[in-house]
Chains A and B, each alone.
Chain A
Amino acid sequence: MTKQLMRGSHVLGEAAVRAGCRYYFGYPITPQNEVPEYLSGRLLEVGGTFVQAESELSSINMVIGAAMAGGRVMTSSSSPGISLKQEGISYLAGQEMPAVIANMIRGGPGLGNIAPAQSDYFQATRGGGHGDYRCLVLAPASCQELCDLTFSAFDLADKYRNPVMILGDGLMGQMMEPVEFPEPVDPAALPKKDWILDGAKGRPSRIILSMLLDPKRLEAHNYKLTRKYDAMTAAEQRWEEYQCDDALLVVVAYGTAARIVKGAIKRVREMGLKVGLFRPISLYPFPKEPLSRLTQRVRQVLVFEMSSGQMVEDVQIAVKSQAEVHFYGRPGGVIPTPEEVAHQISHYYHNAHLAQGEAADGRRAGGAA
C-alpha cells in the first residue's frame, strides 16, 4: 500500500468511505467545508448519498433516520454547528443509534472565530446535549491517526450502538501529511443489524424510540446506557506515552496541542530536562488508569490545552493527589509556538526543583509570563 499526500479534511472523508460509510448529511460551516466538498463527489463515485441539508438541525436528524434504516452514516460540522446538532446527538444516544460526527473545533463561545481551538472538550465528553449520556470521543493528532480513528469509528459506533465523535480543528483539516489508507470495506459485507427499520417483512414491526414515560422504565434504560459506557471505559481507552520512561514531569495534551508539545519537549530535552508527553487519544473514555499509573511515579504534571482549561478537570480526577497538576492554556483560537510551551515546561520543571544542580547556571530564569 502506497502513501498518499492528503489534507486532513479529505483524509476524514476518504477514511469514512473506506469504512463503508455511504451516507453523509451536512451543512456548510468553516473550517470543515472541505469535508462535505470531498464527500459530495466521492460518495457519488461509490453509489452513496450526499445531502446538503438546510440546517444543522435537519442534517443531524437525517443522520438519525439513516441510522434507523441501517446505513453507515456520518455528519461533520464545527463548534456552533455542533451546538445545533446536540439535540439530535442526544436522541442518537437515547435511541442507541450508531453514527459518526466530526467536530472541527473553532474558537468560541458564540460565533467566535475560525481558528483552531479545543474549547468544545466539555461539550464533547460530557454528552453535550440534554440527558444522561456520553459519546465515544476520539482526538487524532496526525493525518494518519485521523484516517485510522475515522476508519474504526464506524465499527465502534456499530459495536456500542452509540454516537462516536471525532474531534479535530481547522489545523488538522488543512494540514497535509502522507497517509496510508486501509483496504475499503464493502458495506454489503457488514454484519446485518437485527434492530433496523426496513419494513416489517416476515417479522413483527419494530419501534425505535427514546421516550419512556414510565420513570422506572426510563431508569432501567439509563442504567443500560451506563453499563454500556462502563464497557466502553473498560475496553476503549486509548493514549500515547512519549518519552515518559525517564520523565520527571509529564505534559498532558491531545490533538493539535499535543503536536506543539512534542516540539516543546524536543527543545527542553536539548536543555537536559526530563520531560515526557501523555497524550489522550480517546477523550471519552478518558485514559484515567494509565495516567494514574504514570503519575504514581511522575509527580509533576502540566496540562496544556488550547482552551482556558477543560481536560485539566479529567486529569485532576485521574491523578487525584498523587502528583501536582499545573495548567497552561491559550483560548480563543491562538496557536502557541513550541518555544512558548517549552518556556512554560521549563518554568514548572525548575519551580519543582527537578533540575537539581542546574539552578546555579541560570536556567531557572525562564519563569512563566
Chain B
Amino acid sequence: MKQVFHKPKSLKPAIYHYCPGCGHSIIHRLVAEVIDELGIQEKTVGVPPAGCAVLAYNYFDVDMGEAPHGRAVAVATGIKRVLPDRVVFTYQGDGDIAAIGTGGAVHAANRGEKITVLFINNGVYGMTGGQMAPTTVAGMNSTTTPGGRDVARDGYPLDLTQMLAVAGGSVYLERVAVNSPKNIKKAKKAIKKAFQAQLDGLGFSLVEILSTCPTNWKMSPIKAMEYIDQSMSKVFPLGVIKDKTGYDEKQGEES
C-alpha cells in the first residue's frame, strides 16, 4: 500500500502544547516538511524565540539553540558565521522581531546575513496573555488597549517586512498566511524558497506568516481564520515583498 501522508522526519514524536486553532502547529509542520524535502535535517540549526514558540525545540528534530527575547537573529548570526555551510533559521513572533528585536532584524537584513527568518505574525503577545503587539491592527482588542487599538493613542501597526525591503542585504521577503489550504500551500512554497536562498548563499531571507491566536483573540478557530482575511491581510497584504533570488526568471527560461 502506498503511504501518502506521514509525519515529517524533522518533527519529534511529541504532542504540541499549542492551543486549538493556533497557527504554530501548522507552521511547525510546514518548516519540518521543507527541511525534509531539502534534505537538510542533519545540517540545520534552529533558533526559537521567547513567546509561545519558546518550546519549539521540543518539536523540531534538529539542533536548536535558545535566544533571549528579540535576539534570535543575533544568535543565528553568530552560529552562521562560525558554520557558514549549515542552514540556520530563526522562528520569531511579532513581539519578538517587530518590537524588541526590530534593530537586530533591520541590521541582519542589511548585512545580508545568510539566515532564514520565519516571522509569525498573529497581532498579539500570545504567551504573556494577549497584550498589544506592534502588529495589532487598529481597532483590535488586546489586554493593554481598552476599547481596541487606537492609533492616536497606541500608534500604528508596524509593517516590519516592508521595512526590511529597503535593506541592501535582504534577498527574499514574502508575506503568507496559514488560514486556508490554498494559503498553507503558498506558505510552504515561500518557506522552501527562503531556505533555498540561504542554501544558495544569496543573503537574508524572511517569510512573514499571518497566523491565528483564537485564545487571545477570543474567537473560535474558524472565526480566527476568517479574521485574517477580513482584517489582518487588509493591513498586511499577502504576497512577495522583495525577491532578488532570480528563481522565477530561471524557471521561466526552463519552461
Contacts and interface: CB of A to CB of B under 8 A. Distances in A.
A228 to B, nearest CB: 19
Contact of B63 (A59, A87, A91, A200): A200
A198 interface: yes
B43 A199 contact: yes
A172 B129 CA distance: 49
A159 interface: no
Most buried by B among A25, A55, A65, A207: A65
A70 interface: yes
Given A58-B71, A199-B45, A208-B65, A65 B54 contact: no
A25 B107 CA distance: 14
B101 to A, nearest CB: 9
Interface residues of A, number: 39
B41 A210 contact: no
Nearest to B100: A57
B81 A49 contact: yes
A63 B75 CA distance: 7
Contacts of A62: 74-75, 77-78, 81
Contact of A200 (B54, B61, B66, B106): B61
A67 B63 CA distance: 14
A316 interface: no
Interface string B23-44: 0000000000000000001111
B158 interface: no
A206 B63 contact: yes
Given A197-B64, A205-B62, A68 B78 contact: yes
A64 B78 contact: yes
B228 interface: no
B42 A202 contact: yes
A69 to B, nearest CB: 4
A157 to B, nearest CB: 15
Interface in A29-58: 49, 51, 53-55, 57-58
A348 interface: no
A25 B43 contact: no
Interface string B136-170: 00000000000000000000000000000000000
Contacts of B45: 68-69, 197-199
B71 A57 contact: yes
B66 A95 contact: yes
A91 B64 CA distance: 15
Contacts of A255: none
B79 A65 contact: yes
Nearest to B74: A61
B67 interface: yes
B216 to A, nearest CB: 20
Contacts of A197: 45, 63-65, 79
A53 B104 CA distance: 9
Contact of B74 (A49, A65, A71, A200): A65
B4 interface: no
Interface in A197-225: 197-202, 205-211
A88 B103 contact: no
A143 interface: no
A284 interface: no
Interface in B83-127: 83, 86-87, 103-104, 106-107, 111
A55 B101 CA distance: 11
A23 interface: yes
A69 B83 contact: yes
Contacts of A199: 42-45, 62-63, 83, 86-87
Contacts of B61: 200, 205
A6 B19 CA distance: 61
Contacts of A268: none
B70 to A, nearest CB: 8
B68 A209 contact: no
B57 interface: yes
A197 B82 CA distance: 11
A68 B81 contact: no
Nearest to A94: B66
Residue of B44, B61, B82 with most chain A CB atoms under a 10 A cut-off: B82
Contacts of B54: 211
Nearest to B78: A65
B133 interface: no
Given A54-B107, A58-B73, 6 more contacts: A59-B74, A64-B67, A64-B75, A69-B79, A69-B82, A201-B43
7 contacts: A61-B104, A65-B47, A65-B75, A65-B78, A66-B82, A68-B45, A200-B42
Interface of A: 23, 25, 49, 51, 53-55, 57-59, 61-71, 73, 87-88, 91, 95, 197-202, 205-211
Nearest first, the 5 A-B pairs at minimum CB distance are: A65-B78, A61-B74, A69-B82, A66-B78, A54-B107
